[in-house]
Amino acid sequence: MIKKSLFFYTALAGFLLPIFAGTVAAAEGGWSVQQGEVTSNGLWAVHFVSASEGWAGGGDGTILHTADGGASWRAQYKEKGERFFSLHFADRRHGWAISWTGKILHTADGGRSWEEQRNPERVWLWDVYFTDRSNGWIVGDKGVILRTADGGRRWEVQKSGQTGPVLEVFFIDPQQGWASGWNGMILHTQDGGNQWTAQKSGTTAALEAIFFIDPLRGWAVGRQGTILGTTDGGKRWEPQQSGTEHLLIGVQFASPQIGWAAGGSGTMLKTENGGATWEKVDAAVNKTFEGLSFGDDRHGWAVGWGGVIVHTRDGGKRWETQNNGFTDRFFRVHFVDERHGWIAGETGTILHSNDGGRSWRYQDSGTEEWVLSVHFTSPREGWAVGGKGLLLHTIDGGKRWERRQKLTEASLEGVFFLTPKIGWVVGETGLIFKTVDGGNRWDFQLSDTTAGLSDIVFLNERKGWIVGTGGTLLQTEDGGATWTPFRLPTKATFTRILFRPPNRGWVVGSEGTLLMTEDGGKSWGPIDTGTKMPLWDLSMQGPEGWMVGDLGMILYTKDGGKSWAERDSGVTQRLNSIYFTSPARGWAVGKGGLILQYGGPATPPVQQAPAQAPSRTSDRTSERSIPSKRPH
């Protein structure tokens, strides 16, 4: 089922939502948003019709679709100012979405196109449910219940006998259904809604979601961790112990025994005995969930604040992020092989993937400092550096990060390990440190510069390079015992250096700067990139290569970097880092928690709402006074 919580109209500015995916970037595959740059609102609704295909809806009038179990999401609809609180699909082609302005949308082609259906009531709509392509119900404020028997071509008002918000509706067949809402409301019908009868819930808590597995057994959840269960169709509702005080907004069961509930602050509960006991499970995030849906008894999704999306493949025992709602900047993406990758970012952020970038999971770095770079020598051992001399080490793939001795109070911006024992870190004011014993001891190396040093690379134990601000390019032939500046006719800030043995290397930086060497660094020549915007990183796979920069810029080469052409990323945010594990698979990361992935099917166009959509603006005085349903 799908749910969303009541809130103050003026409080919406605090929620977030991913932007929609971009267009195709290349013939064999495109760039799509794996985790989106967040804008102004959250995800409120999710519904899956199978283990692979589903939809999510939320702020900015966005409806997202996935056909690969959430590995990638692409926008199908977007309307500025709208917020979709619920969506439901009768099958993989026929679906409906409803919004806070009372808009009802319908699709008959899996979301490729959406058309508006007439709503006879001008109130906020909270939930929509269909038993098949024809029979459906919508509930909303002021006790509103709408009913259709023809797929929404005509919606009729049913009498609920209520004046408060009806928050969710559920039917087990076209005749028998239930609705829940404000002040402990539970309604029941046995004739498709022609007559609704109130059931005694025994609580005054708002009931956000309701679900029945058969005509007798059902559950309702709501505020203050409320869970109610019935075994007689709702004649009697009994409280169940949830073990939480957080708001619960979604409940779903796969069988009379196995079910799940989700809610505030990342709360995820599971029962294996029909609700006699509920167990809290780790949902991988602490953001409030607003929607919960299972495609089958093993594959489930929850969505919520910050555009967060989490997914389980084992019936809810373990959850992982598909979009974790991060708003921080990502600075570096690095893979040690085709399966194991890491992303470094603001406020101690380190993300890890062990499935080739299909999903990313937060790792506890133990710090709030910016993590500026990360480098691994194997799937288990790696290093991370960052602000205020941050130096972290892991020997278990990042499950545990250990803070090592502080070498400086200045920021460390680059790290490179040639072997598990031999490595270097570089940073502000010309700082260079080297270890030959796996980081137990670090020795200072003299750079003879005060420039900020941003990146370092070595080809072997003796030959290496460092780049930094003010056109700084340093070279060593003795493992760093001495560093020699390479004189260049530029003062550009260099951000990244990359070498491909035996002799090719590239340096990128500000003002669209790209330098290239084909003689092992003895000489460097400028390459025309066609832009004056800053370039932040590059990745090469054979003759193919990619660079990233401001305003979502991605440049591509197929001749080893001698010529470059722009590719459409579909986004406008700064991209700070890029990494390809093969010519067909890559990632770019940047501002606002943005993760782009390369490869996969072409992206269909996003349907935009008409420029002058029918107005549904109404007096919201009473709606603004509705008590907030956010968890305390």
Q: Cα(first)–Cα(last) distance of the chain, in Å?
A: 23
- Average pLDDT score over the chain: 89
The CA distance from 454 to 332, in Å, is 12
**Is 120 a domain residue?**
yes
Supply the pLDDT for residue 272: 98
The answer to whether the CB of 63 falls within 8 A of the CB of 57 is yes
pLDDT level of residue 173 (50, 70, 90 thresholds): very high
Q: What is the pLDDT of residues 305-361, one digit of tens each?
A: 878 899 999 999 999 988 766 556 899 999 999 999 999 999 898 999 999 998 788
**pLDDT tops 90 at residue 95:** yes
**Is 186 a domain residue?**
yes
**pLDDT tops 60 at residue 209:** yes
Count of the separate structural domains present in the chain: 1
The CA distance from 384 to 402, in Å, is 10
The answer to whether the CB of 304 falls within 8 A of the CB of 289 is yes
- What is the mean pLDDT of the segment spanning 2-26? 31
**Which range among 34-43, 85-94, 177-186, 236-245 shows the weakest confidence by mean pLDDT?**
34-43
Half-sphere exposure for 195 (CA within 13 Å, toward CB): 3
- Report which of residues 600 and 421 the model is more confident about: 421
Type of residue at 555: L
User: Has this prediction a pTM greater than 0.85?
Assistant: no
**Is 105 a domain residue?**
yes
In the block, which residue shows the tokens 């966005």?
62
DSSP class of residue 615? Answer: P
**Is 613 a domain residue?**
yes
pLDDT level of residue 591 (50, 70, 90 thresholds): confident
Cα separations in angstroms, 404 against 342, 365, 399: 19, 12, 16
**Is 223 a domain residue?**
yes
**pLDDT tops 50 at residue 573:** yes
The answer to whether the CB of 316 falls within 8 A of the CB of 300 is yes
pLDDT level of residue 364 (50, 70, 90 thresholds): confident
**Is 316 a domain residue?**
yes
Q: What is the pLDDT of residues 229-265, one digit of tens each?
A: 999 999 999 999 999 999 999 999 999 999 999 999 9
**Is 396 a domain residue?**
no
Torsion of CA 526, 529, 535, 538, to 10 degrees: -80
**Is 65 a domain residue?**
yes
Q: Which uninterrupted H or E stretch holds 622?
A: helix 621-624
Domain span at residue 114 reads 9-20+45-325+608-624
Evaluated on CA atoms 606, 610, 614, 616, the torsion sign reads positive
The answer to whether the CB of 413 falls within 8 A of the CB of 454 is yes
**pLDDT tops 50 at residue 568:** yes
Burial code of 115-147, b = ≥16 C-beta within 10 A, e = fewer? eebebebebbbbbbbbbebebbbbbbbbbbbbb
The CA distance from 381 to 246, in Å, is 38
Strand partners, 475: 465, 484
- What is the mean pLDDT of the segment spanning 1-26? 32
The CA distance from 355 to 311, in Å, is 14
**Domain harbouring 84, CATH code:** 2.130.10.10
